[in-house]
Amino acid sequence: MLARLSRAALVLTLALGACAKSAPADGDPSVVATAAASASDEAPKAIPLSARFDAQGRFIADERILPAYRRNPTLPAAKGDQYDDIRNAAPQLYALTEPPERIATVRPMVEWEPMRAIVMSYPSYMLSSSNATATFVSIASHASEVGDVWFIVDGSQAESGLKSRIASAGVDQATLDSKIKFYRTDMDSVWFIDSGPLPIVDTATNTFAFADWRYYHERPLDDGVPTDLARNMSAFGYEPTATVYRLPLTIEGGTFQATTDGICFTSDRQVYNLSCYDGACDESLNDMDLATIQNHAYTLKMESVMAAYLGCKDLVITHSVTDDGTGHIDMYLKVLDDDRVLMGQYVAPYGNTYEQENAARLDANAAFLEAYVKPNGGGFTVPRIVMPGHRNSSYGNIPFTFINSTFFNGINLWPYSDYSAWDSKKAAAQATWDEVLPDYENIPVESTELSFYSGAIHCVTRTIPAVEATDWVADGTCAGDTCTAPEHGYDGECSPAGISEQVCWGPTWLCDCNDCENGCQDTPSGCGNITYWGCCDQGTLYYCDNNEVYYQSCGGSSCGWDGTNEWYDCGKLGADPSGEHPIACDLECVPDCDGKTCGADGCGGTCGGCNTGETCVSGQCESTCADAACTLGDGGCDGDTAWACVSSAGCPTRSEIDCTATGKICDGGQCVVAPVEPEPDTTAGPDTTTVPDTASTDGTPGPDTGGSNLDVQGGDDVQAVAHKKDGCAGGGGGSPIALALAGIALVLWRRRRRASV
């Protein structure tokens, strides 16, 4: 029965405190249809923010507006459902590609570099949300003074509504005509930092391309926008097209930031999400100490992909705020420049237990980053900014933030909410922004309504660097039915999946779909001839969900087409009147594994699996390891650094430990205590024994100082392992040395924790 509810796309509401109100699941076809209809019908009536609250002062969410987080977070991405049907019908927007060949000179965009444009997506249903729309208008008004503003909209209604409101905000017609530009396409939500492209810059040619990661499974329209945008840059008066590299990684842009020297940041919530996408959520990842999680297998896997596609030199994991629906780093962290990271801070008296818990987590983040050593030897200072607090809504008690800001050509647009109880905190936040960014104009933008959906300014914006966009991979040509491509160019069918256009452009595809690892399906359902919409066979209902065939007896009742839900179900009569989905089941399915060693067999089964360190690509197992950095079993000393070659995620990986961090030296690949030359005995008399300073050797603290000992200890532990690699792929999660040190660190941490209770 659970699978049937899944097929119905019913919400498993995210538990955030007192969250009890049900809402449509992400991408619910009825919601999409409503949004599409509103794009052409009469403009929705604007509703003031005050009308969104009930008698108890609780914000009641508009169920058409998808929150920044995934509404159904525990359900694995289904195969062969209606969302995959959308992707399968347009593989040129979703098929994963090989990484940039020029990656040695590539870095991720940084937010403080000169920008040509700021981009936002705006569905027409947002016109009814007056406060949220005012936030978009304020962003556009300020940004148009220093650069271009690009809006991606779903139709003329959204475009005309925004234009009229921007003009009413005081933007003159000349600016509106020359600086604020629109492109129309389909979309699911407003969270463009999450679903939109990440510009990547080639420092050798001073050009940029786009990187695009997989977005939420239930938001396929948003997931296709990056390539759509890249192929239509001329709509904004710039280069016609830009190359897009689509990553084999499910992540949201709001949980990624970087520096120009390739230090990339994300959160432990993202590591946890990767475990869920594998089908078994590992709850321990949400509470794992920062030193350990840096070398977790999921971290190393994510880091290897980001290195290959984005040019990341290291990936730093930070603690997420526990009660924020997204867990995104932009809710509590902002990379200010190559040397500074601004971190949120909860201060006593705390408004609830979440704030007290997250105060310690954010303090631990700050200590970790201050102790972190970059591969080039540099580090970070970590100023702090106050967090405002929480507000109650139909989605639960929502944490707000002042740090979710967007930099754009010398202005810093940061979010605030017009609650008088937070006036002093707002003033403190303004003072902090002015102190850390004295050369910026730090502009507060009222963002209350967006904040109730777990996002704010940064969440709805993406900036585009002020360098030329070029095709890093030139377009090919169609000869017959196959593309003739340049090196590293797409060389498949001219019109894959029977689409109307020719797609002889972009990088080489790794496979023909959005998920090479689990294998592409030859049929939309992935369950042989049984589809998501189902069928009836002698009083039994069959349907496909989550890549498996389900059936249930109708117990003597009829089986037929449910016109409300648009699928077959027990208790209904007749066939689909459109004729698109036959009522009779074709239960005969012949597995097809010819030439395949892995992937789907077309009947709901598989042709085999791949070993650790391999992935299934077009029915064949291929290694996911880059050029091996070392040979398994090798080890030794580089000065006072002990190293060993271990297997991490199936790949040979060099693990390093700085022996000097524990007062030792390296000998034979091991950290050992340096031998001490005995001093000559120049005294006589009774033997004297010096009592060791236990506080300095076993981590036992002195007088109780609240939680500060734990935070400081976290920073001290980090110094021994923070610089976990130096030019080598991967990390050292499996090293016996690392495990031993991690064990010692855990014992010391537990001692301090007990002592401070």
Domain ranges of the chain: 109-469, 635-674+696-756
Residue 721 has pLDDT above 90, yes or no: no
**Which helix or strand (DSSP H or E) is residue 528 part of?**
none
144 pLDDT above the threshold of 90? yes
Q: What is the pLDDT of residue 389?
A: 97
CB crowding 477-495: b at 16 or more within 10 Å, else e: eeeeeebebeebbbebbbb
pLDDT tens digits for 29-48?
Answer: 333 333 333 344 466 789 99
Query: Mean pLDDT, to the nearest integer, of 502-511?
Result: 95
3 state SS of 177: helix
Q: How many Cα atoms within 13 Å fall on the side-chain side of residue 135?
A: 33
**Average pLDDT estimate for 225-239:** 95
- The per-residue pLDDT for 60 is 96
Q: What is the pLDDT of residue 746?
A: 36
| pLDDT recorded at residue 580 | 87
pLDDT of residue 260: 98
The arithmetic mean of pLDDT across residues 202-208, rounded, is 97
What pLDDT score does 591 carry? 74
How does residue 718 score in pLDDT terms, banded at 50, 70 and 90?
very low
**519: pLDDT confidence band, cut at 50, 70 and 90?**
low
Task: Identify the three-state secondary structure at position 393.
Answer: strand
For residue 54, what are the contacts with CB-CB under 8 A and spacing of at least 6? 60
Say which range, 49-63, 289-303, 728-742, has the weakest mean pLDDT. 728-742
Residue 529's pLDDT band, with cuts at 50, 70 and 90, is confident
More confident residue, 596 or 15: 596
pLDDT of 26 > 90? The answer is: no
For the cut 90, the answer to whether the pLDDT of residue 678 exceeds it is no
Which is more confidently placed, 701 or 262? 262
What span, in angstroms and rounded, lies between the C-alpha atoms of 371 and 138?
Answer: 38
User: In CATH, what number does 109-469 get?
Assistant: 3.75.10.10
547 pLDDT tier (thresholds 50, 70, 90) = low
Among 105-119, 251-265, 500-514, the least confident range: 500-514
Q: Give 105 or 615, the one with higher predicted confidence.
A: 105
Lowest mean pLDDT among 598-607, 628-637, 663-672: 598-607
User: What's the pLDDT band for 642 if we cut at 50, 70, 90?
Assistant: confident
Average pLDDT over residues 575-593: 85
Question: Distance between the two ends of the chain, CA-based, in angstroms?
Answer: 46
Is the confidence at residue 724, as pLDDT, over 60? no
Instruction: Give the torsion sign (CA, 162, 165, 169, 174).
Output: positive
Q: Is the pLDDT of residue 659 over 60?
A: yes
Q: What percent of the chain has pLDDT over 70?
A: 77
Q: Rounded to an integer, what distance in angstroms lies between the CA atom of residue 38 and that of residue 58?
A: 27
Whether the Cβ atoms of residue 380 and residue 341 lie closer than 8 Å to each other:
yes
Residue pair 748/699 in contact (Cβ under 8 Å)? The answer is yes
The four Cα atoms 514, 517, 518, 524 give a dihedral, to 10 degrees, of 20
Confidence of residue 398 (pLDDT cuts 50, 70, 90): very high
Given this model, what pLDDT does residue 612 score? 63
In this prediction, residues 468-475 reach a mean pLDDT of 94
| pLDDT tens figures, 67-126 | 999 976 434 444 457 788 889 889 999 999 999 999 999 999 999 999 999 999 999 999
Q: How confident is the model at residue 396 (pLDDT cuts 50, 70, 90)?
A: very high
**Mean of the per-residue pLDDT values for the chain?**
81
Give the separation between CA 240 and CA 468, rounded to whole angstroms.
11
Look at residue 15 and tell me whether its pLDDT is greater than 90: no
DSSP H or E segment with residue 264: strand 263-267
pLDDT greater than 80 at residue 2: no
